């Protein structure tokens, strides 16, 4: 019996050592951290749940969708460690696949025109549909518009646009919520009856509408957002290298938003001209909801 107990103790010690090392975030050469092996195994996929639906394609004039990406990579945690982030590729590209299949096309923009940053450690390398649209738009990701250019060139061309899309990924929390041009564009969409689409941490962009003491334009709206409570748990498996510098879902609640989800799940919701999703798991459902809603509502 004693030998059995010693053997079990040894197995538990080895398991603990393996868990410790597989749950440590990976330090990259530039000093930032990417998720641990355990986190990548639990939270990323090589192939998505994308459904290649044949929609009746949109035939009107309002065929353009502005997509606002982040150009920033490093998000500083409370412990000063840098999380190597950007836009989540699945959260960006799955909704865009559905919208493309529904007949819409994209204008790609970042705040200052620097290249789009993706969380490439989350890229689904075995998904041919995702790889195809990524490669199709690669030049636009490398040379996007800047938001000032868009404001100057397109605010008087409202009739060509159906929506503004802000993909998720923790990178959407860097600079975009503090960008006055983002606030101007979201107000432009809101005031001109265009749709606004976002998911996961992308709704951090909505905070830009409150800059300079402006009223939150989505007060009273139902929306799905990545929960702060889940972000607080992810350092335990090494997804984040520390606690988030600040939350998002509770901040939006404090501004009067009605957050409809409590988990990082596939929840999606449409409220008036706002279409949102809860997490990467909602990417396919958000794309379907956005495509069918725009086809029905955009004249």
Is the CB of residue 158 less than 8 Å from the CB of residue 124? Answer: no
- pLDDT tens profile 198-211: 999 999 999 999 99
pTM of the model: 0.93
Q: List phi, psi (to 5°) of 74.
A: -100, 120
- Report the C-alpha gap between 105 and 272 in whole angstroms: 22
- At 299 the pLDDT is 87
Spell out the domain ranges in the chain. 25-297
- At 135 the pLDDT is 98
Q: What angle do CA 279, 66, 152 make, to 5 degrees?
A: 140
Below-70 pLDDT ranges, the chain? 1-21
- At 19 the pLDDT is 46
**Exposed, middle or buried: residue 56 (CB in 10 Å: 0-12, 13-18, 19+)?**
exposed
Residues identified as active-site: 200
- At 1 the pLDDT is 55
- At 15 the pLDDT is 37
Q: List phi, psi (to 5°) of 68.
A: -100, 110
- At 22 the pLDDT is 84
Q: Which CATH number fits domain 25-297: 3.40.50.970, 2.60.120.620, 2.40.50.140, 3.40.50.880?
A: 3.40.50.880
Where does the chain have alpha helices with state H? 2-22, 37-43, 89-101, 128-136, 138-142, 147-154, 180-191, 228-233, 249-254, 283-297
């Amino acid at each position: 019996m004693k030998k059995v107990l010693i053997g079990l103790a040894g197995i538990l010690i080895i398991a603990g050592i393996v868990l410790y090392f597989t749950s440590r975030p990976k330090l990259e050469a530039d000093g930032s951290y990417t998720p641990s092996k355990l986190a990548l195994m639990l939270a990323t996929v090589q192939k998505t749940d994308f459904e290649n639906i044949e929609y009746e394609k949109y035939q009107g004039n309002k065929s353009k969708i502005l997509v606002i990406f982040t150009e920033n990579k490093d998000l500083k945690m409370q412990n000063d460690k840098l999380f190597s982030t950007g836009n989540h590729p699945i959260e960006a590209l799955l909704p865009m696949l559905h919208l493309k299949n529904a007949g819409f096309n994209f204008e790609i923009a970042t705040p200052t025109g620097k290249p789009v940053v993706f969380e490439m450690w989350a890229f689904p390398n075995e998904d041919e549909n995702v790889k195809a649209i990524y490669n199709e738009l690669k030049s636009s990701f490398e040379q996007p518009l800047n938001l000032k250019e868009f404001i100057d060139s397109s605010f008087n061309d409202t009739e060509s646009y159906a929506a503004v899309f802000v993909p998720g990924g923790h990178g959407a929390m860097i600079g975009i919520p503090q960008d006055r041009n983002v606030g101007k564009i979201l107000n432009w969409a809101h005031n001109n009856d265009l749709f606004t689409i976002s998911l996961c941490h992308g709704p951090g962009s909505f905070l830009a509408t409150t800059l300079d003491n402006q009223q939150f334009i989505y007060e009273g709206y139902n929306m799905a957002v990545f929960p702060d409570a889940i972000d607080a748990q992810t350092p335990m498996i090494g997804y984040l290298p520390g606690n988030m510098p600040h939350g998002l879902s509770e901040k939006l609640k404090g501004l009067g938003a009605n957050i409809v989800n409590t988990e990082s799940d596939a929840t999606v919701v449409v409220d008036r001209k706002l279409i949102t999703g809860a997490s990467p798991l909602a990417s396919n459902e958000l794309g379907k909801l956005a495509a069918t809603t725009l086809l029905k509502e955009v004249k």
